[in-house]
Amino acid sequence: MINRYKIAIVEPAPLLLAGVKALLEESGEFEVAYVFNTLHGYELRASHIQPDVIVVSPDLFDFSNRSSIRSFFAVPDGSALVGLVTAHYDEKTLRQFDAVIDIFDDLQSVMLKLRSALKLNSENADSGDSYNLSDRELEILVSVAKGLTNKEIAELHDISVNTVITHRKNISRKTGIKSVSGLTVYALLNNLIDQTDVE
């Protein structure tokens, strides 16, 4: 039995979703394990799944509110983020993905891009880059250190509670700290907050 990579697809167009799913499963190397037609649907399950690859359409993001795709939802550590593009996007948007699949790509091109994204993601994890907290993770860490609940953090940063939970898991894994008090000390020692924030 060949170990197949698990893929989550977030795509609202049923025909496009069915086509991408059929193409990926044709390879035998990838298994479409999770399908969502909205970002909200993905966020509801995000803390419970661990796909190797998340394929998502940039069309789902409202860039007028935020400029970073990864600030919209939590990408689990170890998962590659792949864009599924159906139109022209600026280079800044496309660079935020580990790879970009175009709807005109053939199976061989798609496989090459997915393998490249998986390899890039694996190299980043092996090189110790995973210890560095993202900007969003730092924001969540500060909120945790200030004593906010998951619900309060979600409301403050305009994200779902499940996304907060995924960020907290990633923060704990990267720092090796599991308790709120430990994260508070970490935030104090790294000058992310000052003493008055926790009194």
The CA distances from residue 36 to 81, 170, 192, in Å, are: 15, 22, 36
Q: Residue 46: name the closest of 148, 165, 131 by CA.
A: 165
Assess contact for 51 and 8: CB atoms under 8 A: yes
Question: Top-level CATH class of 132-197?
Answer: mainly alpha
Phi then psi for residue 163, to 5 deg, are: -65, -40
CATH 3.40.50.2300, applies to 5-129: yes
Beta strands in the chain (DSSP E): 5-10, 30-36, 53-56, 80-85, 99-102
Domain residue extents for the chain: 5-129, 132-197
Query: Which residues of the chain fall short of a pLDDT of 50?
Result: 1, 127-130
Q: What is the pLDDT of residue 56?
A: 93
